[in-house]
């Protein structure tokens, strides 16, 4: 500075170091002013060396501070940050299980209260890790999620309708930390179920974080005399590894990567029954890996993300009698199921702020590069191992004849594009969107879905949200879900599962009232073709096939107080 005139300036880095452009010279009469928000400024006379300068904190005296919340806010969505995640998971049966932090009236769990198989209004939500789709029910044997809670910075649930970016009416989003700051941090947790270790390191330009989790109960039982043929206490024999890293190329551009590797192994002998006196030998194995790469650009009024990911894995399930001796009048149940798959995912998502509002648009590609499945079964009702009933199908003889052995290979692509407009004022926020999808393996034209939502601020502490939308999704699910082997066999004859959803949510003084109406159509169901059956010939069986003729409706509401 020369008097009141500023000759040049510079900003410090995170360590307080600074420098001036080459050619800048300080002469007699010049001075150097150093300042920082929250500290008293220092004025130094010109000198060739200033050494280390320490600033003193400065206090500010204000008459009053008025904090006003945004009147219009999303009401039906549920989100939990790091602090709330730690609180909720600490009280769960498995502290590393991130899905135990998902709590909402619309959420139920398939199996037990501690299950990670979350259901929202009767259907499975899609999961996303840092914006990359990882399918439905990404968990260890339905018990807990494949990414530990220590690696999740935020979890979100949209139970009553989603915007046009998503194909399903409910989604769960997991966000991992992107700590572009100088740090070194590790964490180790141990329970009777698992041991989890995580570590993170970084600076203002790069970071890396990783976690390793391994079951311990299957090791502990080796020290106890349990007198059991079980190889492990299900479902405890598992391990998973998660890794993420990021590079801040510039202040606007970031390159990030995510990957996980999951292994499950479970085998044991069930107790004997009249039909199978020596019990059943059961084995369930699973493996999955994901590699993801994301490029993000943050402009003055825009955000763009391009993501590429690969997913691969396999699942197998084996059930057979321990011995050849069967009870009187019983039938031999046997099942040998295996599937391996590889998948390529690409997505481009953009959001731009304009005078009309925030415009979001993008495209997605889901390429099933290769899927191979093999089945050999007798008297299997095509229900998952944890189903509530193992009773035979009404046409079990025909099911055995037609699908005693099944082998298949598939390769196809699903393509989607979307657009939405979000507008916000002091008392109202609106969202309009559309999504178009083409399912490469299905017998259907491109599916068009429409989404809308409006929030009204009725008073300073009450507001109303109304949402309506249509959705289209592939009928393909994990291979052990009900009838999924048959869905794969008849995929070319099926249509997308269509969903219509209307929801309303009202909040006033901490009291929430919600209601929804949801209907599904074109669901895949196993149907007998009775018209082709010749009743005069008892030896002729009924032909069975999957058809998009199923439907379901859900109507409900909830009341909560916060």
Lowest mean pLDDT among 8-17, 294-303, 534-543: 534-543
Q: Fold for 175-561, please state it.
A: Maltoporin; Chain A (2.40.170)
Summarised one tens digit per residue, pLDDT across range 77-131 is: 777 777 787 777 776 767 777 877 777 778 887 766 667 788 888 788 999 999 9
Question: CA–CA separation, 56 vs 36, rounded Å?
Answer: 10
Nearest to 72 by CA among 433, 461, 514: 461
Note whether 266 and 285 are within 8 A (CB): yes
**Three-class HEC string of 75-101:** CCCEEEEHHHHHHHHHCCCCCCEHHHH
Lowest mean pLDDT among 211-215, 386-390, 544-548: 386-390
Q: Fold for 78-174, please state it.
A: Ferric Hydroxamate Uptake Protein; Chain A, domain 1 (2.170.130)
Question: Is residue 234 scored above 50 in pLDDT?
Answer: no
Q: Taking the domains of the chain in order of start, what are their residue ranges?
A: 1-67, 78-174, 175-561
- Tally the residues of the chain: 562
Question: Is residue 327 scored above 50 in pLDDT?
Answer: no
- Average of per-residue pLDDT across 148-152: 87
User: 446-462: string of b/e by CB count within 10 Å (b at 16+)?
Assistant: ebebebbbbbbbeeeee
Predicted TM-score of the model (pTM): 0.79
Note whether 371 and 339 are within 8 A (CB): yes
């Amino acid at each position: 500075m020369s008097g009141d005139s500023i000759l040049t300036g510079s900003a410090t880095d995170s360590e307080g170091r600074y420098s001036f452009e080459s050619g800048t010279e300080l002469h007699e009469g010049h001075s150097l002013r150093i300042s920082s928000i929250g500290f008293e400024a220092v004025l130094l006379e010109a000198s060739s060396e200033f050494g280390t300068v320490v600033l003193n904190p400065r206090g500010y005296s204000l008459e009053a501070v008025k904090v006003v919340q945004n009147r219009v806010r999303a009401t039906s969505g549920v989100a939990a940050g790091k602090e709330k995640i730690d609180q909720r998971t600490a009280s769960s049966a498995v502290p590393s299980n991130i899905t135990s932090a998902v709590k909402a009236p619309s959420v139920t769990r398939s199996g037990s209260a501690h299950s990670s198989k979350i259901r929202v209004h009767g259907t499975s939500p899609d999961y996303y890790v840092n914006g990359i789709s990882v399918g439905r029910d990404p968990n260890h044997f339905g018990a807990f999620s494949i990414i530990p809670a220590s690696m999740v910075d935020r979890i979100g649930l949209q139970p009553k309708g989603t915007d046009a970016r998503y194909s399903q009416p409910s989604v769960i989003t997991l966000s991992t930390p992107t700590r572009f700051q100088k740090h070194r941090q590790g964490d180790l947790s141990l329970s009777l179920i698992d041991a989890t270790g995580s570590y993170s390191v970084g600076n203002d330009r790069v970071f890396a974080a990783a976690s390793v989790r391994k079951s311990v109960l299957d090791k502990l039982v080796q020290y106890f005399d349990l007198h059991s043929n079980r190889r492990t206490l299900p479902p405890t024999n598992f391990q998973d590894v998660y890794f993420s890293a990021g590079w801040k190329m510039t202040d606007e551009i970031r390159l990030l990567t995510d990957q996980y590797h999951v292994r499950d192994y479970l085998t044991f002998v069930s107790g004997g029954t009249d039909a199978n006196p020596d019990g059943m030998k059961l084995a369930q194995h699973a493996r999955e890996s994901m590699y993801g790469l994301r490029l993000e650009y943050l402009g003055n009024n825009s955000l763009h993300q391009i993501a590429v990911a690969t997913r691969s894995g396999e699942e197998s399930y084996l059930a057979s009698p321990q011995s050849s001796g069967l009870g009187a009048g019983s039938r031999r149940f046997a099942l040998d199921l295996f599937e391996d798959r590889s998948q390529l995912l690409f997505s481009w998502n953009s959001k731009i702020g304009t005078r009309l509002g925030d415009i979001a648009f993008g495209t997605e590609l889901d390429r099933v590069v290769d899927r191979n499945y093999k089945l050999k079964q007798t008297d299997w009702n095509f229900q998952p191992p944890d189903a509530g009933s193992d009773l035979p199908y009404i046409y079990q003889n025909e099911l055995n004849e037609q699908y005693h052995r099944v082998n298949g290979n598939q390769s196809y692509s699903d393509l989607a594009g979307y657009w939405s407009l979000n507008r916000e004022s002091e008392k109202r926020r609106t969202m309009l969107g559309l999504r178009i999808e083409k399912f490469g393996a299905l017998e259907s034209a491109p599916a068009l879905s429409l989404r809308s939502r409006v929030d009204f601020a009725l008073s300073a502490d009450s507001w109303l949200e109304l949402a309506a939308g249509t959705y289209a999704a592939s009928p393909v699910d994990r291979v052990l879900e009900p009838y999924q082997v048959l869905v794969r066999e008849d995929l070319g004859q099926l249509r997308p599962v269509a969903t219509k959803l209307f929801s309303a949510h009202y909040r006033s003084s901490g009291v929430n009232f919600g209601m929804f109406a949801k209907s599904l159509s074109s669901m895949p169901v196993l149907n007998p073709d009775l018209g082709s059956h010749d009743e005069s010939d008892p030896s002729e069986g009924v032909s069975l096939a999957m058809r998009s003729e199923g439907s379901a409706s859900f109507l409900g509401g909830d009341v909560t107080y916060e």
